[in-house]
Structure 1
Amino acid sequence: MTHNTPLSPRPLHHLADGRRRLMTAAQLRAHGVSAAETDEQCRPGGPWQRLLPNVVLLHPGPPTSEERLHAVLMYAARERTAADGGAPAGVPASVPVQPGGDKRPVLAYAEAMITGLAGLTLHGFRAAPPLPSLDAIDVLVPRLRRLRTTGCARIVRTTALPTAVQVTGVPVAPVARALADAVAGLSDAGVVRRLMTEAVRGGHCEPAAVVRELNRARLLSRPHVVDAVDSLVAEGRALAEQRLYRMVREHGLPEPAWNVDLRLPGGPHLGGVDAYWPEHSVALELDTRAHRQQDDDALWAEHARKREHLERLGVTVVHLTPRKLRDCLEHQATVVRTALMAAADREPAAYVVVLPR
């Protein structure tokens, strides 16, 4: 036998077992399947079908939602070679589902992740459509990748690829990014508002993270998006206030005066605060800013001036964010309790008038 002697034909049925129903052209070649054999298997009425360029579905029926997701990722992922030190796209690899979590087999996809409405569906959004109803699945890739939208794969480009979240073995863009990519293709104000509200109400992310992504995508000039952002901010503030009330109640803190304005007697207005303990001269502010970037700097400057003025008068200002209240409520209660206890060691503060806001 010489090197030019063709290999004996290999049976192909072993490729379409229960776990391997999708393969790239490169993976098929690695299994000894030539391009001509692939073409023959993918002929009309044949046992295989080309679902996307270079992605073959190894059965004749319609693809499942899971197969469509993985096909899109296999099409968009950068093919890794042995020189890269990694597995080719779609080859099982053991990676942690989350930091510190147990390792489980997932499919390795380089420089590609599901985003947009499909990403929100995978994150568990009830307001997002089910996967079978989506004609196209958005996949996020680096801006310089040479790919085109085709079939069920819609290419979304980014200059900085975020860290993917693994959802049932599928790499998915973080909620805020997936939401921004979904909003970019939506014109229905009601749908946009429902998705944004669920992002906050469902505990997926904070309003500020969503607005940062919307601002980065230059979507905040769209009227229906601006209206939805206003609802988003209101929803986020209401949830933060509920957590603040719970913190005071569950951790045995003294009851403050809620949502009050502070003034000097016969003097200027000092500003509003979310909670104030008059006997301790401790004020608490929730930072729920999530507006457009051009407004954000002015708001921050105003908050900084108010805080500096109050502290010059001897009032301690505790600054909390909704994320801190969500992620470490007990620690924030300790911060407030420490500020209250320290009041006895400070010089008496100036007398301020407390008025309902």
Structure 2
Amino acid sequence: MNHNTPLSPRPLSHLSDVQRRVLSAAQLRHHGVSAARSAAKCRPGGPWQQLLPGVFVLHPGPPTSEERLHAALLYAGRPAEGTLRGVPAQSQPGAAPAPDPAPYGDTMVTGLAALALHRFSSAPPLLSLDQIDVLVARTRRLRSTGFARLIRAHALPRAQEITGVPVAPVPRALADAVAQLTDANAVRRLLTEAVRGGHCEPAAIVKELNQARLLTRSHVVDAVDSLLAEGRAIAEDRLYAMVREHGLPDPLWNVDLRLPGGPHLGGVDAYWSDQAVALELDTRAPRHDEDAMWSEYARKREHLERLGITVVHITPKKLRDAAEQQAMVVRTALMASDDRDPAAYVVVLPR
């Protein structure tokens, strides 16, 4: 007897509908179906099909988009020979079937397929995609084949589960999608929807694009510039709402500060002149010139604080997720002004 064939085949009742329709060769062996029997069922006119090496769909018609997703994941995450998802194939007669862990290892859908699962309207429908991108560990010894395109990662992100499928987070999925796209408008639409739809902040997207070395492509750089402008406009709207909804005193908006007859100190997003409190939205994104940008940013803050001006930094993410907490930070800075030495006089100009 083949040592990979279980003594007591397991029933399929514990599997979901799609898992019953799409199975790997290892899973079929675990359920008592030999390789020869699988091959026979996939002959022309037979009831099964082999979608990818070692992956079968148990019906003769065209696979659904969901079946293609699961097939690509099963191919990329298939277990080592002689095991099923970390469970030994050999089982004791009469043993109750144990629940199966996730069958896909640490693989996950990425690229355009992942964005479609994240419900991006600008991503093509799943069924129209010729290939499904699957993110795998760099050490996986598999090749892309058929509609399964493998993308290797030095460090895998934490997957999100959507409709039972492990999916890469939006920033990583965007980077993998953009890497395959040459249409500038398509890239711009995807990046813009990520920010407008509240999927993630611009800085997270730019970080992934930078790590993927995509910021050397002119159409990607142009899209990123539009993305950062879009993200800043959204963050400013949230800042206005925070001041209004949490009862903070009205500041002077978007102003430049300079010493009387002296040098320009820099621009700030909001300034409470009576309390000498300045607020800056930290919308920096990691780029190739990040060190220079940060040095300038830090210099401005240190100069203002030496003049007795308190500088509050708020990130767009904190504005989105914890506006009440950020309002409290600003309120505390305003209240603390009574306990500080008077700040130097500065000229405030519209920016």
TM-score (norm 2): 0.90
1:188–1:346 Cα change, 3 Å: same
Q: In the alignment, what sits opposite 1:23?
A: 23
Deviations 1:45-84 (A, max 9, x none): 1000101100010001111111110000000004168989
Q: In the alignment, what sits opposite 1:98?
A: none
How far 1:17 sits from its partner (Å)?
A: 9.3
Mapped to 2, the partners of 1:321 and 1:203 lie a distance apart of 15
Answering whether residue 335 of structure 2 is matched by residue 341 of structure 1, we say: yes
Mapped to 2, the partners of 1:173 and 1:18 lie a distance apart of 23
Q: In the alignment, what sits opposite 1:40?
A: 40
- 1:81–1:87: 8 Å Cα contact kept in structure 2? no
Mapped to 2, the partners of 1:93 and 1:327 lie a distance apart of 36
1:342–1:131 Cα change, 3 Å: same
Q: In the alignment, what sits opposite 1:69?
A: 69
For 2:259, give the aligned amino acid. L
1:15–1:198 Cα change, 3 Å: closer
Mapped to 2, the partners of 1:335 and 1:300 lie a distance apart of 22
- 1:165–1:173: 8 Å Cα contact kept in structure 2? yes
For 2:168, give the aligned amino acid. A
Mapped to 2, the partners of 1:178 and 1:205 lie a distance apart of 12
Mapped to 2, the partners of 1:66 and 1:92 lie a distance apart of 22
1:342–1:228 Cα change, 3 Å: same
Q: In the alignment, what sits opposite 1:158?
A: 153
For 2:311, give the aligned amino acid. V
What does 1:1-357 correspond to in 2, within 5 Å?
Answer: 18=17, 20-79=20-79, 86=86, 107-290=102-285, 292-293=287-288, 295-357=289-351
Question: How many positions carry a matched residue from both structures?
Answer: 338
- 1:117–1:138: 8 Å Cα contact kept in structure 2? yes
- 1:80–1:87: 8 Å Cα contact kept in structure 2? no
How far 1:124 sits from its partner (Å)?
A: 1.0
SS of 1:56's partner is: strand
1:343–1:7 Cα change, 3 Å: closer
Mapped to 2, the partners of 1:194 and 1:326 lie a distance apart of 22
- 1:313–1:350: 8 Å Cα contact kept in structure 2? yes
- 1:92–1:108: 8 Å Cα contact kept in structure 2? no
- 1:115–1:178: 8 Å Cα contact kept in structure 2? yes
- 1:121–1:130: 8 Å Cα contact kept in structure 2? yes
Structure 1: runs of 5+ lacking an equivalent: 95-106
Mapped to 1, the partners of 2:160 and 2:256 lie a distance apart of 43
How far 1:36 sits from its partner (Å)?
A: 1.1
Mapped to 1, the partners of 2:243 and 2:180 lie a distance apart of 42
Q: In the alignment, what sits opposite 1:102?
A: none
How far 1:33 sits from its partner (Å)?
A: 1.2
SS of 1:340's partner is: helix
SS of 1:29's partner is: helix
- 1:53–1:75: 8 Å Cα contact kept in structure 2? yes
Let me know the Cα RMSD of the aligned residues: 2.7
- 1:271–1:306: 8 Å Cα contact kept in structure 2? yes
How far 1:111 sits from its partner (Å)?
A: 2.1
TM-score (norm 1): 0.89
- Which deviates more from structure 2 when the two are superposed, residues 107-116 or residues 227-236? 107-116
1:15–1:42 Cα change, 3 Å: farther
- 1:16–1:59: 8 Å Cα contact kept in structure 2? no
For 1:223, give the aligned amino acid. S
